[in-house]
Amino acid sequence: MRIEIDVERRLESFRLKASFSCDAPVTALFGRSGCGKSTLLNLVAGLLRPDRGRIAIGDRVLFDVASGVNVPPEQRRVGYVFQDGLLLPHLSVRQNLLYGRFFTPPQERWADIGRVVALLDLAPLLERRPRHLSGGEKQRVALGRALLASPRLLLMDEPLASLDAGRRGEILYYIERLRDEVRVPILYVSHEIEEVVRLAGHMVLLSDGRVAASGEVHDLMGRMELRGLIGRYEGGAVIEAKVAAQDLDSGLARLAFTGGELLVADVDALVGESLRVRVRARDVSIALERPRDISILNCFAGRIAEIGIEPGSSVDVRIDIAGTPILARITRHSAARLRLAAGQEVWALVKAVSFDRQSVGYA
Amino acid sequence: MLDALTPSELEAVRLSLKVAAASVLASLPFGFALAWLLARRQFPGKSLLDAVIHLPLVLPPVVIGYLLLVLFGRRGPIGQWLDETFGIVFAFRWTGAALACALMGLPLLVRAIRQSLEAVDRRLESAAATLGAGRLWVLASVTIPLSLPGIVTGMLLSFARSLGEFGATITFVSNIPGETQTLPLAIYTYTQVPGGDPQAMRLCVLSVLLSLAALLASEFIVRRAHLRVFGDAH
């Protein structure tokens, strides 16, 4: 379902002016805190009114200043999963889950209680009060509650932000299940790039209330000029690949992409499955000749497309490997010593162990 | 000493409870509306409204009683209109005593409800709205349940205040046995007649016991309300 957003809203000194459209199962709204991500979600949910613009989901217009349409939040049928769950404290988990369903017209209820409870493993929690739930359990209930209102669109506002690292993986897993088994588009707000790569196909990059870029995740991740916005430490190219083979003895998976085959360790995937793999720039080394007798398993021949000009002791180098861009971060010192220049033929080296579950998203 | 209450004593106790209960129930909708207005809305004259609601707390009760008499008496502008339009009469009736008590208890009621309304997380109301609840449903299923402990506290404070109301009541509706003579008024009457001291003392003890029971019950009920709403005891 196509989501079209073109809104403007002023909040004291902050001004949000965002325009984009997307059609992916999961669209990530990515940016630093204070860039306007949550404000944007509140505009879509109807909790805030845009000063001007238009919001439409598929053929349903939720807000249009030109024709005077402003559907109130309770009629938008947009599920909202808040950062801290916001379960109703005076109701049991069961009552929370059924709350939204109660207000949904019977002919529009597509979400099945038994299926949602099974999908999110909620059965043992049903009779409890929210205050007796852990952070992760609260978010699972919040997901279930939003789903059971049979929404046309799900909004998630950093649903992992209030959880510890262990719980994050757990909830990410449930969100993936939800994305794959329930056909409802998701707008996912985050400032963690690994969540974006794992979940989203489309990414909208927000900066200071503006859309800096909007497009496929692997496209934006390979663009050098966006590196500052994505964050240099975790940044790196995203490759779309397919699992060619899974070697159980060595624990290595062979991922085929247009530039060759990438060997990765510790990634569970079925043969034939499509993946998005994030190759962090700081895990990529550059050699002028093909190294021999080296432990690094992935060596790709490529051509330098661009060398970054950012200040500091390191530079980012974009290497084109048969049409697939890969980013490498090396010291300025090394770049000078190897006399790297655009157009030069080089080898890009990536260790197979630099990948883990957090580097991979299932498309 | 209290093993047998005389019919007139029983009458005074019954009337006191009736007046207090009626005053609380009748003032609750108004009290909630005023508390909601003060907690949730910004409007010109808000401070003035807040001050006016609190006046009964600081004015001599006789002033409230006299103003009620002037406004709600048979010939008063409001009293006359109510009598002619709806046939409602406050003057020298137990309903008048309830009106006086309601007004005296209103500041306590509004304060307690306002405080608990201000403590409700507004984002929970937003969450309910995104789940499809319209404004009235949000009020009924989120706002009121979450402010229930404050509502109950306010009702009990106002009820206890009514049991002790004297000045406004006697000024507005006089001291009519069986109609407007509540417990405090009955005690006052006995202290004014020669040899009435023993009866006055009996009623005083009764009054202490009644108030004590009301306070203990309120403590218990508020705790129960909190337990029901939040699943824990304060």
Q: What does the pLDDT read at residue A331?
A: 92
Backbone angles phi, psi at B60, to 5 degrees: -60, 135
Does the structure show a pLDDT above 50 at A8?
A: yes
Q: What does the pLDDT read at residue B62?
A: 94
Backbone angles phi, psi at A167, to 5 degrees: -70, -30
For residue A104, the chain B residues in CB contact (below 8 A) are 132
Q: Poorest-confidence range of A106-110, A300-304, B37-41, B65-69?
A: A106-110
**pLDDT band at A296, cuts 50/70/90?**
very high
Site from A48, A71, A88 to mutate, B interface, most B CB atoms within 10 angstroms:
A88
Cα separation, A148 vs A146, in Å, equals 6
Q: What does the pLDDT read at residue A194?
A: 82
If one counts every other C-beta atom within 10 angstroms of the C-beta of residue A341, the result is 9
Arithmetic mean of pLDDT over chain A:
89
Q: What does the pLDDT read at residue A233?
A: 62
Cα separation, A168 vs A158, in Å, equals 11
Q: What does the pLDDT read at residue B34?
A: 96
Output DSSP code: residue A307. Answer: E
Are B229 and A149 a contacting pair at CB < 8 A? no
Q: Which structure tokens are listed for B9?
A: 């004593």
Residue type, A277: V
Task: Give A165's contacts (C-beta < 8 A, 6+ positions apart).
Answer: none
* Chain B contacts to A (CB-CB under 8 A): 121, 123-124, 126-134, 137, 141-142, 145-146, 228-232
Backbone angles phi, psi at A292, to 5 degrees: -115, 160
Q: What does the pLDDT read at residue B3?
A: 55
pTM, 2 dp: 0.81
Quick one: average pLDDT of A188-213?
Answer: 90
For residue B132, the chain A residues in CB contact (below 8 A) are 74-75, 77, 100, 102-104, 149
Cα separation, A25 vs A53, in Å, equals 24
Mind listing the pLDDT tens digit for each residue in A258-273?
888 999 987 777 888 8
For residue B143, the chain A residues in CB contact (below 8 A) are none
**pLDDT band at A363, cuts 50/70/90?**
low
Describe the strand order of the beta sheet including A274-280 as a list of residue ranges.
A260-265, A252-257, A236-247, A274-280, A360-362
Burial B176-188 (b: 16+ CB within 10 A, else e): eeebbbbbbbbbe
Does the structure show a pLDDT above 80 at A299?
A: yes
Cα separation, A179 vs A169, in Å, equals 15
Mind listing the pLDDT tens digit for each residue in A326-349?
999 999 999 999 999 999 999 999
Q: What does the pLDDT read at residue B214?
A: 84
Cα separation, A283 vs A25, in Å, equals 30
Taking the CA of residue B229 and the nearest CA in chain A, the distance in Å comes to 5
Low-confidence ranges of chain B (pLDDT < 70): 1-3, 231-234
Q: What does the pLDDT read at residue A232?
A: 63
Q: Are B180 and B173 in contact (CB under 8 A)?
A: yes
When CB atoms are compared, the residue of A86, A103, A131 closest to B132 is A103
In terms of C-beta density within 10 A (0-12 exposed, 13-18 middle, 19 or more buried), how is residue A216 classed?
middle
In terms of C-beta density within 10 A (0-12 exposed, 13-18 middle, 19 or more buried), how is residue A319 classed?
buried
Per the document, the length of chain A is 363
Residue type, A250: S
Quick one: average pLDDT of A6-33?
Answer: 91
| Closest by Cα among B166, B162, B169 to B91 | B169
When CB atoms are compared, the residue of A74, A82, A146 closest to B133 is A74
**pLDDT band at A220, cuts 50/70/90?**
confident
Please give the ipTM for the structure prediction: 0.80
Are B130 and A86 a contacting pair at CB < 8 A? no
Describe the strand order of the beta sheet including A324-331 as a list of residue ranges.
A284-287, A345-350, A298-307, A314-321, A324-331
Q: What does the pLDDT read at residue A104?
A: 92
Q: Which structure tokens are listed for B143?
A: 């706002």
Site from A74, A84, A148, A154 to mutate, B interface, most B CB atoms within 10 angstroms:
A74
In terms of C-beta density within 10 A (0-12 exposed, 13-18 middle, 19 or more buried), how is residue B87 classed?
exposed
